[in-house]
Copies of this chain bind each other. A is one copy, B any other.
């Protein structure tokens, strides 16, 4: 084999290491979870409904590709994304998938089928409305994730507590609920609950990672 060919093979093999790391649905789910902040293996395993052993194996794959890093704290080992670029890449990957795969488009329609026309989708306008208090931006993820990072002006009520804390929310203004991203169902559940209770909820597909990826271009 000629020399140029060997060099090329080497280069593409390296890039394919990243491709392999994102070729498994469970690893993608783990990446999305890690976009919300660092987490222990057990947490990651629970949230993604797999065994700790399997989670550990998948995480090792990703660490070999240098997409994630670890930190030990007592008995726990915390994983985090190695770089913001990984979160941006996740956003681009799932956006591309949404553009290209009809099956995915259909599955997603199933999740957020209400017309979101009440609240504009573009970021500046939404933020302007949130700043003026014309809408309430609601983060329904667990509190820890909210504390790591959240959308500007967002208020935190984790989905578990939402039913008990409905009185904190206004009925006269739209409530824009978001969660981890388009594949997380928490905002969907929150919207359904709020609608039953007489609020005017809107489902925002984006999570923090999507928001930031959009901001950095």
Contact = CB atoms under 8 A, between A and B. Distances in A.
B100 A83 contact: yes
Given A12-B26, A49-B5, A183-B11, A96 B89 contact: yes
A23 interface: yes
Contact of A93 (B9, B89, B101): B89
A101 B5 contact: no
B4 A25 contact: no
A148 interface: no
A92 B94 contact: no
Contact of A100 (B18, B24, B182): B18
Contacts of A88: 92
Interface residues of A, number: 54
The main secondary structure of chain A at its interface with chain B is helix
Nearest to A182: B11
Contact of A96 (B18, B97, B183): B18
Contact of A19 (B4, B93, B107): B93
Given A93-B89, A100-B67, A16 B25 contact: yes
A104 interface: yes
A8 interface: yes
A17 B107 contact: no
Interface in A56-95: 65-67, 82-83, 85-86, 88-89, 92-95
3 A-B pairs closest in CB distance = A12-B25, A19-B23, A14-B104
